Homo-oligomer: A and B are copies of this chain.
Amino acid sequence: MTTTILKGVIAYAITPFDRNEQLDVPLFRKLVERLVTSGAHAIAPLGSTGVLPYLTDEEKEAVTEATLQQVAGRVPTLVGVSNLTTERTIYHAKFAEKAGASAVMIIPMSYWKLTDDEIVAHYDAVASRINIPIMAYNNPATGGVDMSASLLKRLLEIPNVTMIKESTGDVQRMHYLRRELGEEVAFYNGSNPLALAAFAAGATGWCTAAPNLIPTLNTALFEAVTDGNYSNARSLFYQQVDLLKFIVATGLPRAIKAGLELLGQEAGELRSPLKPLTANERKVLQDILSTIKNQ
């Protein structure tokens, strides 16, 4: 097992619904295909972008299978299998492994704030049941728990927990992780507006929904960083930072759907209570996309 199975731009797919708010698998496959062919270094279904918590068990399985079939090994896949209960998390992790996922991502979702021991037991229970790598994901804003560096250290002692995704939006946290966890641990940035700072801090990859809208800018930023050309990286970052901030501020599923439509790509419907961007929000997004196009 290697920790470098994933690097660069890890693209998050949205989950589209039809007019009856039912899962639209054919459209989902089209959107995944678009991500692969536009240069994403890995594909990640069933994240926050993919409205994982709003799906039934059956829908999660259908999305997982559709992803693996469509990607067909061209790039690695990272499947989200987070669930409130340990039992359901194990169930979906096993399903993803069987379907052929390269790795799974797990955030300790919590309605009740979990203790460190509860979180370790949760990961341990899942990890012991699968053989593919696990990315532990820290995002207090959506998961409700803020995992400390010492807790992440404990999680990394579990053999197949090999990657850390950090989305607090605090670059000092990344510095601390790298100092405490060592350079050999792969850490990934999940905060879009921190893309430049995280790469400067040594992040292995960038987990982002932005490649649905601006794939070329995203991969170019990674390449500039890899080439050590920070002047170019900075320029590329400032070209895309307004979009990165917008999609975070308005919510990834809503913003990506609207952006796809503005780019002429069908994107399906949202599932209630999520609603489309307002006319004003849509106008702001259009302006941002036009500015990027004309740069």
Report A's interface with B, CB cutoff 8 A. Answer: 21, 48, 51-54, 84-87, 108, 110-115, 117-119, 121-122, 125, 142, 144, 169, 171-172, 175, 178-179, 193-194, 196-197, 200-202, 225, 228-231, 233-234, 237-238, 241-242, 245, 251-254, 271-275, 278
Contacts and interface: CB of A to CB of B under 8 A. Distances in A.
Sort A-B residue pairs by CB-CB distance and give the 8 closest, nearest first.
A86-B272, A200-B200, A197-B197, A122-B273, A53-B111, A171-B197, A112-B251, A118-B273
A275 B117 CA distance: 9
Contact of A273 (B108, B178, B272): B108
Given A108-B273, A114-B273, A122-B272, A85 B175 contact: no
B179 A272 contact: no
A234 B201 contact: yes
Identical chains bound together, number: 4
A202 to B, nearest CB: 6
A84 B238 CA distance: 36
20 contacts: A21-B87, A53-B84, A54-B85, A85-B271, A86-B272, A112-B142, A112-B251, A112-B254, A117-B275, A118-B273, A119-B273, A121-B275, A172-B194, A175-B241, A196-B201, A200-B230, A200-B234, A225-B230, A228-B228, A228-B231
